[in-house]
């Protein structure tokens, strides 16, 4: 599998497992998503511990890393403090991380250092895992947007996966500080609709927000991986909270169940898609 990272010598250990609240059913494939993580601070470690506890009880196939992986400016010299140490238990278990670049990541060398470190095949890419096809995007303002949208449309048109997930750093729809992204509403949302994408995931907004179905698609902001900002509630909002969290997904057949976990390990949102 692409982007498996090196084994780490330092491992966090000794802490008692949090009581994790996940659906009581057997999953065909399990993975997680986090975003806006790269502070190296207490908030990041609190969320990372929940992920480690999930992995200890119900192993994860992969983790989606939704950008702003290294604050403040994408300095790769900080990678031990903001990635290797917080996620040491997952890395020791060889759980692969599949990142996208956020606006903070491209401030140094346009994110090229992270591309090399994470062994990303490109600034945008696709991969298959666990019966799901994932499409990772570069949503930054300096991205070659037109070329990327053409690539995405072609890649989605070739996909035969029953579940298709697209993720990038920036939201399409948001009730947070930045609000809806006009470029993505105009260009990206119609492509997702045309190809019956199940889910679009993002960070950038430091909160949790799940939309109602919009043209058959759930839009999920999971940007509470280390810090928080307030979030409002819009006509399209199903649930919004300003809370540190990770999101765990379980595929069973053609169904995808998402469970949002706070730092106490308890679920504050769960829904089945498909």
Beta-strand ranges (E) seen in the chain are 29-34, 63-65, 97-99, 125-129, 132-136, 163-167, 199-202, 208-211, 218-222, 237-241, 246-252, 255-261, 267-273
Q: What is the DSSP letter of 97?
A: E
Residue pair 25/259 in contact by the 8 Å Cβ criterion:
no
Cα–Cα distance for residue pair 31/272, rounded to 1 Å: 15
Residue pair 148/120 in contact by the 8 Å Cβ criterion:
no
All domains in the chain, ordered by first residue = 29-273 (3.60.21.10)
Cis peptide, bond prior to residue 72, ω within 30 of zero: yes
The angle at the Cα of 227, spanning 225 to 229, to the nearest 5 degrees, equals 115
SS3 26: coil
Listed residue (99, 97, 38, 30) closest to 259, CA to CA:
30
The angle at the Cα of 201, spanning 159 to 58, to the nearest 5 degrees, equals 90
Listed residue (30, 83, 86, 99) closest to 58, CA to CA:
30
pLDDT in tens, the chain (274 residues): 334 433 222 222 333 444 565 555 568 999 999 999 999 999 999 999 999 999 999 999 999 999 999 999 999 999 999 999 999 999 999 999 999 999 999 999 999 999 999 999 999 999 999 999 999 999 999 999 999 999 999 999 999 999 999 999 999 999 999 999 999 999 999 999 999 999 999 999 999 999 999 999 999 999 999 999 999 999 999 999 999 999 999 999 999 999 999 999 999 999 999 8
Q: What is the DSSP string of 205-245?
A: SSSEEEEPPBTTBEEEEE--SS--------TTEEEEE----
Dihedral angle sign, alpha carbons of residues 246, 1, 101, 108: positive
């Amino acid at each position: 599998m692409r982007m498996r990272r090196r084994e780490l010598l330092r491992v966090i250990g000794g802490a008692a497992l949090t009581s994790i609240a996940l659906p009581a059913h057997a999953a065909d494939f399990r993975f997680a998503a986090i975003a806006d993580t790269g502070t190296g601070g207490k908030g990041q470690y609190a969320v990372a511990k929940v992920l480690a506890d999930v992995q200890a009880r119900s192993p994860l196939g992969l983790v989606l890393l939704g950008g702003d992986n290294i604050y403040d400016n994408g300095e790769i010299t900080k990678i031990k403090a903001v990635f290797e140490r917080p996620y040491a238990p997952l890395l020791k278990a060889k759980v692969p991380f599949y990142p996208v670049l956020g606006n903070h990541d491209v401030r140094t060398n346009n994110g090229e250092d992270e591309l090399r470190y994470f062994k990303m095949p490109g600034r945008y890419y696709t991969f298959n895992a666990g019966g799901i096809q994932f499409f990772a995007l570069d949503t930054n303002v300096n991205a070659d947007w037109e070329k990327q949208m053409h690539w995405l449309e072609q890649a989605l048109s070739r996909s035969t996966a029953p579940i298709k997930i697209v993720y990038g750093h920036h939201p399409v729809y948001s009730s947070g500080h930045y609000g809806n992204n006009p470029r993505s509403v105009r260009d990206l949302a119609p492509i997702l609709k045309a190809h019956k994408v199940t889910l679009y995931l993002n960070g950038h907004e430091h909160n949790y927000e799940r939309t109602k179905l919009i043209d058959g698609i759930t839009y999920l902001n999971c940007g509470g991986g280390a810090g928080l900002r307030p979030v409002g509630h819009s006509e399209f909002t199903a649930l919004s909270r300003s809370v540190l969290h990770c999101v765990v997904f379980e595929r069973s057949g053609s169904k995808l169940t998402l469970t949002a976990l706070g730092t106490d390990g308890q679920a504050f949102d769960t829904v089945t898609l498909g």
